[in-house]
Amino acid sequence: MSYVTAVLPTDQPPLMHQAVDEAVRLLREGEIVALPTETVYGLAANALDAEAVAKIFEAKERPTFDPLIVHLASKEQIDLVADVPPEIAATLKKMVERFWPGPLTILLPKKPIVPDLVTAGLPTVAVRVSSNSIFRRVITDLGKPIAAPSANRFGSISPTSASAVLAELEGRIHLIVDAGACMYGLESTIIKIEPGSPKMFITIVRPGPITAEDLKLYGKVRYASRTVVDEATAAPGQLASHYAPKTPLRLLERPQDFIPEEGKRYALLSYRGEEKDGYLNLCEWEEVMMLSPGNGKLPEAAVRFFYVLRALDKLGVDEIIAEPLHEHGMGIAMMDKLRRASGRYT
Ligand code: TXA
Ligand code: MG
Q: Count the residues in the chain.
A: 346
Distance 125 CA to ligand 1 centre (A): 10
For residue 205, CA distances in Å to 78, 104, 333 come to 20, 11, 11
Q: At 33, which helix (H) or strand (E)?
A: strand 33-35
Residue located nearest, by CA, to atom 21 of ligand 1: 237
Distance 103 CA to ligand 2 centre (A): 14
Q: Are 142 and 49 in contact (CB under 8 A)?
A: no
**pLDDT in single tens digits along all 346 residues of the chain:** 689 999 999 999 999 999 999 999 999 999 999 999 999 999 999 999 999 999 999 999 999 999 999 999 999 999 999 999 999 999 999 999 999 999 999 999 999 999 999 999 999 999 999 999 999 999 999 999 999 999 999 989 999 999 999 999 999 999 999 999 999 999 999 999 999 999 999 999 999 999 999 999 999 999 997 644 444 445 565 655 566 799 999 999 999 999 999 999 999 999 999 999 999 999 999 999 999 998 889 999 999 999 999 999 999 999 999 999 999 999 999 999 999 899 866 5
State whether the beta carbon of 119 lies less than 6 angstroms from ligand 1: yes
State whether the beta carbon of 159 lies less than 6 angstroms from ligand 1: no
User: Residue 2, class by beta-carbon neighbours within 10 Å (0-12 exposed, 13-18 middle, 19+ buried)?
Assistant: exposed
State whether the beta carbon of 238 lies less than 6 angstroms from ligand 1: yes
Which atom of ligand 1 is closest in space to residue 110's alpha carbon?
Answer: 29
Which atom of ligand 1 is closest in space to residue 187's alpha carbon?
Answer: 1
HEC string of 206-253 equals ECCCCCHHHHHHHCEEEECCCCCCCCCCCCCCCCCCCCCCCCCEEECC
State whether the beta carbon of 160 lies less than 6 angstroms from ligand 1: no
State whether the beta carbon of 125 lies less than 6 angstroms from ligand 1: yes
Mutate to test the pocket of ligand 1, among 38, 56, 105 (most ligand atoms within 8 A of CB): 105
